Amino acid sequence: QVQLVESGGGLVQAGGSLRLSCAASGRTISSSNMGWFRQAPGKEREFVGCIRWTGSSTYYADSVKGRFTISRDNANNTVYLQMNSLKPEDTARYYCARGFGTRPIDYDYWGQGTQVTVSS
């Protein structure tokens, strides 16, 4: 079993930045591909980006490309999502998950999420 816990969410003004963390426990994620999703009220869960276990490759949704960056620290079993130039439409609950791909079904373990609210 892998437990994933997201942190770092909060309220930020448009144009600001936040860095989300996803800390794993139970089992190491150092050899696991990882992804980030988000879900706004009344909307489906949306792919944000993912990273290979080596950290050598990352992929992003077009809506966040150039603004968001995923990184990882395998020694500390943690994955990060750096979010810059935030927009009100980025407001959502953000989830990290183990797996790779653009669909939620491609992932097997999920965290509880952390809320990000961007004010205009």
Q: Is the model's pLDDT at 75 over the cut of 90?
A: yes
Give residue 27's pLDDT.
Answer: 86
Mean of all residue pLDDT scores within the chain: 96
Mean pLDDT of 22-26: 94
Mean pLDDT of 53-61: 94
Contact 93, 36 (CB under 8 A): no
Pairing of strands 114-119, 10-13: parallel
CA distances from 63 to 49, 68, 69, 85 (A): 10, 9, 12, 12
Mean pLDDT of 55-84: 96
Confidence class for position 64, pLDDT limits 50, 70, 90: very high
CA distances from 106 to 51, 91, 119 (A): 13, 23, 32
Give strand pairing partners of 97. Answer: 35, 110
